[in-house]
Structure 1
Amino acid sequence: MSARGAADDVEKLRKALAAEHAALFAYGILGARTSGTLRARISAAFDEHRASRDQLRAYITARGGKPAEPDASYALPFLPSGAALAVKLAVHLESGVMAAYLELVAAQDAALRRYAALAMQEAVARSYAFQPAQPAAFPGMPAPATPPPASPSPAQSGG
């Protein structure tokens, strides 16, 4: 791999790390504003993002880069005032993380591409786990046609 390719990979890693820092900040807020099973799922997501953050820091350091430190605060699109908004924010966070890893999929290093693809899958899975409605079995496929209502039998129609 060229020096330029390695530098590009480090920059992509740094962007993914920045997304993980932002997700950790927001999940911390969500954890403080939720309870019950939702809080347990948010806590699990927080732990998963913390592990990803640590892995990204290790990748950056191993490539001679300096990992970015988290900002003191991050702007959130809204503050959740209830469970529905907490879920909406969690789904939004996972979309942002997925987008950051999408860029990393174009890394020069094949191991980083694989890591990024798996991280994207995890973000999508977390996103769907937060949403109350489950995805279609085959997303993108048209919905099956509903059968026409059954004709009344001769006994029902009085004939």
Structure 2
Amino acid sequence: MTTVDALQRALRSEHAAVYGYGVVGARLRGALRQDARTAWNLHRARRDDLAARITAMGAKPDAAAPAYKLPRAVGSARSAAQVAAALEDDAVTAYAGLAGSGDAALRGFAARAMQEAMERAVRWRARSGPPRAAGPASAFPGLPGTALAPEPRPGE
């Protein structure tokens, strides 16, 4: 993956987050709505920053889609918080592609973006209440299980 490809992947994630937080915010009230608005504005700023970086590299930034499929329907404050956490997980995964850049400044940018997104994901998960079905916690939240293939085997 080239640096521009990784920047485009992060940009697409930011487009989805901006869209998703618009949906999420409509189901929240009070402090939760303000937190969603703050996250929405942070994702808008990251989106604009990424678009500027891509343009500076001589490429055309990917445009936002008219709509995005969210990981679940947003019908309550609980489901809104779950969707917000999933949006942040996607951002962590997207910025991971930039963390291996040869440019130290870009690596730092990606690391900060990943850390901030993970912090927001943790806060949103805490607000969504306990999970309905208890399952094992992910050792690397936001990183798809396929990224750890082949699966480690004890004793090898």
TM-score interval for Structure 1 and Structure 2 normalised by the shorter chain: 0.7 to 0.9
Distance across 1 between alignment mates of 2:102 and 2:51 = 18
Q: 1:47 matched to which residue of 2?
A: 41
Aligned residue pairs: how many?
A: 128
Gaps of 5+ in 2: 128-138, 140-156
Structure 1 runs (4+) greater than 6 angstroms displaced: none
User: Which sections of structure 1, spanning at least 5 residues, go unmatched?
Assistant: 1-6, 134-139, 141-159
The alpha-carbon deviation at position 115 of structure 1 amounts to 0.4
Q: Percent identity?
A: 42
Residue by residue, what CA displacement relative to the aligned partner does 1:110-159 show, whole Å, maximum 9, x if unpaired?
Answer: 211110000001101111222327xxxxxx8xxxxxxxxxxxxxxxxxxx
TM-score by length of 1: 0.76
Larger Rg: 1
Q: Does 1:106 align with 2:100?
A: yes
**Which amino acid in 2 is paired with 1:28?**
G
TM-score, normalised via structure 2 length: 0.78
Aligned residue type for 1:80 = V
Quick check: 1:13–1:56 contact (8 Å CA) kept in 2? yes
1:124 pairs with 2:118:
yes
CA deviations over 1:55-93 (Å, ceiling 9, x no partner): 101111111111011000111121111111111111111
Q: Per-residue deviation at 1:25?
A: 0.6
1:129 maps to amino acid: R
| Match among 44, 57, 69 for residue 63 of structure 1 | 57
Alignment of 1:1-159 (within 5 A): 8-132=2-126
Shift of 1:38: 0.9
